[in-house]
Structure 1
Amino acid sequence: MILIQNAKVFTMEGDVLEKGDVLVKDGKVQEVGENLDAPDGAKVIDGEGKILMPGMIDAHSHLGLFEDAIGFEGNDVNEMTDPSTPHLRAIDGINPMDKTFKDAVMGGITSTATGPGSANVIGGQFAVIKTHGDYIDDMIIEEYNAMKIAFGENPKRVYAEKKTSPMTRMATAAVLRENLLKAKSYREKKEEAGLDKTKLPAFDMKMEALLPVLERKVPLKAHAHRADDILTAIRIAKEFNTKITLEHCTEGHLIADVIKKEELTAVVGPSFGHNTKFELKNKTFETPGILNRAGVKVAIMTDHPVIPIESLPMAAALAVKSGMDELEALKSITIYPAEILGMDSRLGSIKAGKDADLVLWDKNPLDIQAKVAVTIIDGEVVYEG
């Protein structure tokens, strides 16, 4: 058991306790309040003068799939041999012993959605994982949380170099539609066969991977920067009645009214760094705030390793500098990504029954000089600064 005492506690449940205590037991938050008594044998952590937050969540990264300080040998993020690879699973490529996991823990990032990159139109399955552990199987929160798809320049560039389709935005949309239609037909044949195994269609691993998308069990995780690409993603999702989250959403501020009308969520970023391609020309840290004020639920992401995962609070701070409300910015890296990922029953806030993923900061984490004093994941102290 662990008792954190006398901290300023941002629960992300609407309460801010100026002198709050949090009791942790068996990997879960047991109690949140004031003047809690320390049970016998509990480790007591003094939070006087510090801020206690839920562990931060990066809703879009490639953590563990693109290893630190290494080239081809540690690059498992893009299978650039086929524009449609829905059967690929992030958990089969993640190396949890990569240095960047320690960086995440030291930076207060306790969980992330990580998965394939955007070289392919259909990239594969994103997973939600904790950032601490030696074995990926013990770190998984949900092994198939979303299906990565990509629009815009990346698939065009990769396959233009190979002199094959898709080389245009039209072809990118066509590849996605074709595979969703094939999956729909595959599902119908399975349903028609019923219990008669002789009538079942030949097993197709790719189509099997797409069935949860058609059944609305997992969303499409749509890489789209430019406004027209965002609108194409929305159009196709509506056509097939699938769930969708808008990833990057770089020009989302230009069509905030549409995104709000469609009741969609946005995972915005990385907004830091050089505009490396044309579709980033309207990139701005104002985007999260504009979408947030329009009523769109926003998470801020790093797209690690595009910017290092421990830079997540810095990205939120720069969004505040560009007009986003400070509390909303904190929510955009805690409770909002948890809700967008469908993980809010376990993650994103400090509440009895939720995972004890907690970070004690020496000052407001949006302060660029803030340092992590203690990181707790699943009720275990995994870092002390």
Structure 2
Amino acid sequence: MSVLAFTGGRVVTGAGEVHEPGTVIVQDGVIAAVGPSHEIEVPTGAEIVDATGRWVLPGFVDAHTHLGVHEDGEGSAGADGSELSDPDMSAVRAIDAVNIEDRAFRDALAGGVTTTVVKPGSGNPIGGTSVAIKTWGGRTVDDQVVKHPVSVKSALGENPKSTWGGRNQLPRTRMGIALVIRRALIGAQEYAGKRDAAAATGEPFTRDLGKEALAAALAGDLTWDQHVHRHDDIATALRLADEFGLRIVLNHGTEGHKLARELAERDIPVIFGPVLASRGKVESREASVSNLVALARAGVRVALCTDHPVVPIDALALQAAVALRAGLSWEQALAAISSAAAEIAGLDHRVGALVPGLDGDVVVWSGDPLHAASVAEAVFIEGREVFRREGEDVVIADRWADA
């Protein structure tokens, strides 16, 4: 049995509690106890991590990235985000393209990010399924999986329109994009009915991987991650959700503030951002972090994302700091990269807070992580130290040490 005890620091649980000084006990990779230091007994033989003068927080969660599938500095060799052989690529899985040796995984640790949801790109009306992984772990991406699959990725607007608009097939317009999605979902409805009937009678049935993924979304087992910027595309997303009963999460949501009341009433969350990117395309001309603040004030559940590599993943906490400056409360800004992000992604049973029973993903910060001068000094994933700063040097765990 391995036991870690983080003692003496300012413990911010991410679940609304702050203990100073506080203690966090991690036993066999899982959080066993959290509370004020005078109330928590450190087990005999525990390895002590002295966090005196430091802040102790849960590992951060980036709910929308392309980490490992769009590799920095690799050009076309690392561009595996969008499979463009057909507008409907519901059968593909982001997990099959993740290279865990992408340098950006180390950047994630430096930014205190311990969990991310990796999604297919937005070149297709339906891009495939996403996967939630830890940012460090074993020798394959499978060793780092938190949940797979998490969602079906879909895109409306200029990304799929510009990708397919010059080709001699659908879709060329926003109408065409919505048509591709509708046809695919109707096909999945029919497929699910035939599959279930065959299962009831014992008749043979031929599987279709794409329709299986879409059927899972129709059943509510997978969320429908909708890439969307403009307010009219958001309206189309809501229309599709109503037609097919999709459990929808808006990704980016640049003009979501214009429909904030509707989103709040329907409890449709928004993974917003990235907020440090330029207004690089026509759909983002109204991009502003103030739109995020408006969504939150209207009661919409929000998370922040880097959309790595659009914004480097180690800037996730910096984005929360920008949101704080724009008007989010400190608690809201922190939740947007921890507990709220985990909840929206369906990962709050594992990560996002320092709560007994969750994974022992703990980060020791030099100070307030939403202060630009603060740095992650040590990162633990499931109770294992995977990153540490030693002066100007950085030490990262060697996944190949026992090869």
Q: Alignment partner of 2:148: what SS?
A: strand
Residue 189 of structure 1 is matched in structure 2 by 194
Residue 29 of structure 1 is matched in structure 2 by 31
Query: Once the two structures are superposed, what CA deviation does each residue of 1:70-104 show, in whole Å capped at 9, x if it has no partner?
Result: 11111110111211001111111100011110110
2:236 and 2:166 mapped to 1: Cα distance? 24
Is 2:149 the partner of 1:144? yes
Is 2:180 the partner of 1:178? no
Q: How many Å apart are 1:199 and its aligned residue?
A: 6.5
Paired residue for 1:340, among 339, 344, 355? 344
1:2 and 1:110 mapped to 2: Cα distance? 18
Q: How many Å apart are 1:106 and its aligned residue?
A: 1.4
Residue 274 of structure 1 is matched in structure 2 by 278
Contact 1:289 1:319 in 2 (8 A): yes
Is 2:245 the partner of 1:238? no
Residue 14 of structure 2 is matched in structure 1 by 12
Runs of 4+ in 1 over 4 A off after TM superposition: none
Is 2:268 the partner of 1:257? no
- Unaligned residue ranges in structure 2 (runs of 5+): 390-403
Contact 1:289 1:325 in 2 (8 A): no
Paired residue for 1:317, among 321, 330, 347? 321
1:188 and 1:2 mapped to 2: Cα distance? 51
Q: How many Å apart are 1:231 and its aligned residue?
A: 1.1
Query: Once the two structures are superposed, what CA deviation does each residue of 1:115-134 show, in whole Å capped at 9, x if it has no partner?
Result: 20000000000111100023
Q: How many Å apart are 1:197 and its aligned residue?
A: 4.9
Task: Provide closer, same or farther for how the CA distance between residues 194 and 25 of structure 1 changes in structure 2, counting only shifts above 3 A.
Answer: closer
**Root-mean-square deviation over aligned CA pairs:** 1.2
- Unaligned residue ranges in structure 1 (runs of 5+): none
Residue 217 of structure 2 is matched in structure 1 by 213
Residue 103 of structure 1 is matched in structure 2 by 107
Q: How many Å apart are 1:198 and its aligned residue?
A: 4.4
Contact 1:290 1:324 in 2 (8 A): no
Residue 379 of structure 2 is matched in structure 1 by 375
Query: Once the two structures are superposed, what CA deviation does each residue of 1:170-217 show, in whole Å capped at 9, x if it has no partner?
Result: 0000000000000001111222334445464x4322112211111110
Query: Once the two structures are superposed, what CA deviation does each residue of 1:324-356 show, in whole Å capped at 9, x if it has no partner?
Result: 111110011000011111111111111111100
Residue 39 of structure 1 is matched in structure 2 by 43
Q: Alignment partner of 1:80: what SS?
A: coil
Paired residue for 2:136, among 126, 129, 132? 132
Letter in 2 for 1:3: A
* TM-score calculated relative to the size of structure 1: 0.97
1:161 and 1:263 mapped to 2: Cα distance? 37
The number of equivalent residue pairs is 384
Q: How does 1:75-90 map to 2 (within 5 A)?
A: 75-90=79-94
Q: Alignment partner of 1:144: what SS?
A: coil
Q: How many Å apart are 1:37 and its aligned residue?
A: 3.9
Is 2:308 the partner of 1:304? yes
Q: How many Å apart are 1:2 and its aligned residue?
A: 1.1
Q: How many Å apart are 1:258 and its aligned residue?
A: 1.2
1:137 and 1:198 mapped to 2: Cα distance? 33
Is 2:330 the partner of 1:326? yes
Q: How many Å apart are 1:41 and its aligned residue?
A: 2.8
Letter in 2 for 1:185: E
Query: Once the two structures are superposed, what CA deviation does each residue of 1:3-44 show, in whole Å capped at 9, x if it has no partner?
Result: 111111111222111210111110011111223343333221
Letter in 2 for 1:32: V
2:327 and 2:41 mapped to 1: Cα distance? 41
1:342 and 1:90 mapped to 2: Cα distance? 17
Paired residue for 2:251, among 236, 247, 250? 247
2:362 and 2:235 mapped to 1: Cα distance? 37
Name whichever of 338-347 and 186-195 sits farther off: 186-195
